[in-house]
Structure 1
Amino acid sequence: MQLFGMSAEKGRWLLIPLSATVLLCLGTVYSWSIFRKPLEKLLNINATESLLPFTVLLVLFAVLMPITGFYINRFGTRVVTAVGGVIMGLGYILSSFNSNLQMLTLTYGVIAGIGVGIAYGVPIAVVAKWFPDKKGIAVGLTVIGFGLSPLITAPLAKSLIDSYGVRQTFVILGLAFTAIILAIATVLKTPPEDWKPAGWNPATSSQSNTSVTSLETLLQTPAFYGLWLCYTIATFSGLAAIGISSPLAQEIIKLDAATAANTVSIFAVFNALGRLFFGWFTDRFSPKSGAIISFVLFLIASLMMLKSGEGTVATYLVAFSLFYFSFGGWLAIAPTTTLILFSSADYAKNYGIVFTAYGAGALGGTLLAGRIRDIFGSYTVFFYPTTALAILGIILAVFMLKRSFSNSNVAQV
């Protein structure tokens, strides 16, 4: 079988950077903190209100993921990716006409959120099916695109806003991302049902003992709820940290806007590294161990930020690097665990259900962070609940992620 003019075993590796590029475009949502201050001034809104479009986008993103999973096989990966890219781009472009918070929430939060939700799962599903022998590392390399996006899009957005204003920036990004996603959508395809890498002989007997194929059985599995709750907690802390990183740096650490934007780019590297590291770690060891390590890092980061203040640049940099690293890790831990624990043939559907945790965490974390800032006048108080949740996450991982998982090495958790 040929792929990109090469054998499928070699050609499939090109699908990883292409899929990661699609996710890089979609991942511009993680640069939202760069837009917040200009929008607060332009629309005369407060911190809670400037987080609202971001929160709504994340919720729509999470809601559409499971729905899209049921239609990928029906309409095809290329069509679903293209439709998602066009809708996302349209949402960005329409956001340039915003005159109030309600309109911005509709165009960016709802329309762009729908587009991201439609397109996001497709590149991951494509790569997962081409790499049944290297689930963790392949998915980890792919989702790097979403996490690494702020490294490119945060300084790009800051430069465009400075040069053209926030409204024109929405237009430029919308047009560029639509064109890129449409181009890549033309080459995204899944392998035939009976395809497998040459020389790969999965341990079918052990896999059959742990695969869950029906939605009803999935929802009756204790490990599913352990995974869902852990993912919610990680998303609650991680997405809130992403949403407040730039304004927090300016208000508490007293960095200027340009430097604060640059730190977001630095953190994006750790977000990407977290996906790669935890994708490998989950494959090599177990989802349970990966979850525990991530929550320990969340705990350390939260305790550090409770001690932060004006001039504590090193504390801020280390703590938020840990937040981004640990949260990025969950974008690899969750899909890889879903692949290992449940039937890979139903991956898009199963991970869509698991991914609803992302929406729950996004809604709770971002709204609470903004509300705390408006009530207490500082984001510092937010790190008390993240400290408590990190401890809860460790407990949940120990006691609920204790089922036996199977991969090529059959790891016990």
Structure 2
Amino acid sequence: MENTKVKKKGYGKGWALIIYAFLAYFTATAVGSAMNSASGILAGLRGWSATFLISLISLGSLGNIVAGFVFGKLSVKHSAKKLSLICFVIYLVAMLGLGVTTNLGMFAVCLVFANAISCAIGYQLSPVIIAKWFPKKKGILMGIVTMGIPLCSGIAAMIYNAGYKSMGPLGGFLPFMAIAAVAAIILILFISDDPKDKGFTPDNGEFREVDEEKKEGTKKDSIWTTKKLLTTPQVWVHGITLGIQLLFASGLMVQLYPRLLEIGFDERTAGMMMLASGLLALPGSYISGLIDQKIGARKAACTTYVIGALAMVLNLAGNVVCVWLSLACIGVVVGGAANWPASLCIEEFGDSFANGYGIIQPIIQIVGAIGPAFFAMIAGKTGSYRIPYISGAILMIIGLICFVFLAKPNFVKEEEAKYQNQ
């Protein structure tokens, strides 16, 4: 006999997950964003090279890819909650090391570990939990929680500076450690891998418990092994095409400040606009989530290719109104680039989300890591930041065409159907 539980309204206990995931994404952005300010301060304090310290962020990006792959595969067989807690411990130790060490080599090791592990917490493991709690409402959820990324980008330098002035080198990193500790406590007390363990129904919908004998045989091992994923062309197509949006977002943000100076804005105004661009990505993330919830992740991803190209056209116009509109558009793309990978993998892979996301997300990260070097190379060859922005518009149009015509919907179901018919 089936036992029906009462339908819950609102996000219920899911609010704990929303707050946790928001803090997890904030934490994932903290190291790189804080180093924008910390590099100069620590260079003067320790006698290190500020340029070398900045370059360590790129090395940390390679660590992100490795950590994403490792923890993506571990989350297929092991609890994402337990893996996250292990990562939090490593992160706190690494951040402590950043604050106290006077050895440059040790600082470099700590930075790479802190950056990589924090990205595993935010980008890789939190979506695994979200996929189980909100498989259908993931669009708006991802729109909310990824707001932690631009928020941290906008205020991390101020947080570091305030901490450093109050408590010295370690004090600069302590606020970020405190935020991570709060996230870990929320995870321990209120969140489980399966929402039913907390008395919560996925997506707030009606949950029916069926007889155990009816459950037998319904759960099958996923066909999506690492080998299967790596040998399925559509996995690579989705990873590369979605990675173009991350390449665009990461590469153009690096070029934004000098581009604003080139247009004719003074340093103070350009700095203010840079801060505004990060804050504009906050509503950009939420808007991306709303679009996702209304029309689905696949169609929503198409809109951000168009918005990205539009952002470049507006920026190239050069007048104040168009430049501000371009910043708003870039904010939507930055938000979407963080939303679509998880949301689309939830739609496509369903119960095998951890399997698919564990491979597709690292592919996206690899493509995205090329962004800063790609646009910097164009700027260096041409001697202008105008050409990289033209290239950005072309890139997004190419990305849209490739995504629409090459990234096939329902490829997961088709592959699973082939497997069952063998």
- Cα deviation for residue 321 of structure 1 reads 2.9
Q: Does 1:142 align with 2:148?
A: no
Q: Which deviates further from its counterpart, 270-279 or 127-136?
A: 270-279
- Whether the 8 Å contact between 1:66 and 1:349 is mirrored in structure 2 is no
- Cα deviation for residue 131 of structure 1 reads 1.5
- Whether the 8 Å contact between 1:24 and 1:149 is mirrored in structure 2 is yes
- Cα deviation for residue 40 of structure 1 reads 10
- Whether the 8 Å contact between 1:70 and 1:349 is mirrored in structure 2 is yes
186, 189, 196: which is aligned to 2:188?
186
The number of aligned residues is 386
- Cα deviation for residue 243 of structure 1 reads 3.6
Deviations 1:22-72 (A, max 9, x none): 2222222563584388369745555xx565322222332232123213323
Kindly tell me: are residues 154 and 303 of structure 1, through their superposed partners in 2, closer, same or farther at Cα, counting changes over 3 Å? farther
Kindly tell me: are residues 12 and 182 of structure 1, through their superposed partners in 2, closer, same or farther at Cα, counting changes over 3 Å? closer
1:186 alignment partner, SS class: helix
Kindly tell me: are residues 301 and 245 of structure 1, through their superposed partners in 2, closer, same or farther at Cα, counting changes over 3 Å? same
31, 38, 41: which is aligned to 2:40?
38
- Whether the 8 Å contact between 1:154 and 1:261 is mirrored in structure 2 is no
214, 232, 242: which is aligned to 1:231?
242
- Cα deviation for residue 326 of structure 1 reads 0.8
336, 340, 356: which is aligned to 1:333?
340
- Structure 1 residue runs of 5 or longer lacking an equivalent are 202-207, 408-413
Distance 1:73 1:230 in 2: 24
- Structure 2 residue runs of 5 or longer lacking an equivalent are 209-217, 414-422
Could you tell me the TM-score, scaled by structure 2's length? Answer: 0.75
Q: Does 1:296 align with 2:296?
A: no
- Whether the 8 Å contact between 1:270 and 1:324 is mirrored in structure 2 is yes
Give the % identical residues: 18
- Cα deviation for residue 132 of structure 1 reads 2.5
Distance 1:249 1:102 in 2: 36
- Whether the 8 Å contact between 1:235 and 1:327 is mirrored in structure 2 is yes
Could you tell me the TM-score, scaled by structure 1's length? Answer: 0.77
Kindly tell me: are residues 375 and 198 of structure 1, through their superposed partners in 2, closer, same or farther at Cα, counting changes over 3 Å? closer
- Cα deviation for residue 352 of structure 1 reads 1.9
Distance 1:317 1:176 in 2: 35
Distance 2:411 2:286 in 1: 20
- Whether the 8 Å contact between 2:22 and 2:148 is mirrored in structure 1 is yes
Aligned residue runs from structure 1 range 212-251, under 5 A: 213-215=223-225, 216-246=227-257, 249=260
What RMSD, in angstroms, separates the aligned Cα atoms of the two structures?
A: 3.9
Deviations 1:148-183 (A, max 9, x none): 32344344345556x469945643344323432332
13, 16, 37: which is aligned to 2:15?
13
Distance 1:245 1:78 in 2: 37
Deviations 1:198-233 (A, max 9, x none): 4269xxxxxx9xx98413554455543332122211
- Whether the 8 Å contact between 1:150 and 1:264 is mirrored in structure 2 is no
The equivalent of 2:361 in structure 1 is 355
Larger Rg: 2
Distance 2:96 2:380 in 1: 30
Kindly tell me: are residues 158 and 307 of structure 1, through their superposed partners in 2, closer, same or farther at Cα, counting changes over 3 Å? farther
Distance 1:269 1:307 in 2: 22
2:119 alignment partner, SS class: helix
1:332 alignment partner, SS class: helix
1:10 alignment partner, SS class: coil
- Cα deviation for residue 105 of structure 1 reads 4.5
- Whether the 8 Å contact between 2:236 and 2:363 is mirrored in structure 1 is no
The equivalent of 1:205 in structure 2 is none
